[in-house]
Amino acid sequence: MQYLSEDLAKDLPKGDSFQNLQAMEGKVYRDVQGRKTLQFELAGKSYFIKNHFGVGWREIVKNLVQLRMPILGAENEWRAISKLKSLGLATMTSMAYGSRGWNPARKQSLIVTEDLAGTISLEDYCKDWRQNPPEFVLKQKLLSKLASISRTLHQGGVCHRDFYLCHFLMPKDCLDGSSDQAFELFIIDLHRALIKNSLGMRWIIKDVSGLLYSAMDIGLTQRDFFRFIKTYDDMNLRDSLAYNGAFWGSVEKRALSMQKKLGSVS
Active site residues: 162
How far is residue 135's CA from residue 233's CA, in Å, rounded to a whole number?
25
How far is residue 157's CA from residue 155's CA, in Å, rounded to a whole number?
5
Which DSSP letter does residue 172 get?
G
How far is residue 152's CA from residue 75's CA, in Å, rounded to a whole number?
22
Residues in the chain: 266
The residues facing 38 across adjacent strands are: 28, 49
How far is residue 141's CA from residue 228's CA, in Å, rounded to a whole number?
10
How far is residue 217's CA from residue 128's CA, in Å, rounded to a whole number?
9
